[in-house]
Amino acid sequence: MAIIYGIPDSKKQLEKSLRKSILVASGAKGELAVLDKISELDDNYHILCNVNVNLGHLITDPISKRKDLKKAQMDFVIISKRGVMVIEVKNWSEEYILKNKINIEKYGGKTPHAQTHRNGLVLWIELNPSNRQKKNFSN
């Protein structure tokens, strides 16, 4: 079984979420479903839940080209001998996507793909000391 560090926000707040909002509860259920699945990995994998990284300075987002990237909140980070993976969980149904296409595109200014890319970049900078002083990155 994979080694799990931390408790995802979803597990801590699932009961609150169920009472507050169907959408928040759906997201929490999605994170728990992913956690159940990745927990099946063997103990060569280390799973970090709800990882927050703050670089302390702004860098240029290679997608938007704006200097607006400083921190990231990652649902899951998986570390293994093969590398480090960032997983961003969304529990959106096809119906939700179709009904809320405009809002999703504006979701924090980031699509799930862009959010994962930005999170991965922040984590890469944090894990590589030689990158910490650099302020601009490109694809």
Per-residue pLDDT of 65-79, as tens digits, reads 878 889 998 999 999
> Who contacts 74 (Cβ-Cβ below 8 Å, separation ≥6)?
48, 50, 51, 52, 53, 86, 87, 88, 119, 123
pLDDT tens across 79-114, in order? 999 999 999 887 777 776 677 666 655 555 466 777
Strand 83-87 to strand 46-59: parallel, antiparallel, or no bridges (unpaired)? unpaired
Confidence of residue 138 (pLDDT cuts 50, 70, 90): very low
Strand locations in the chain, DSSP E? Answer: 3-5, 46-59, 69-80, 83-87
Beta-bridge mates of residue 83: 80
**d(C-alpha 98, C-alpha 112), whole Å:** 15
Separation in Å, CA 127 to CA 63, 91, 124: 21, 29, 5
Residue 7 confidence (pLDDT): 63
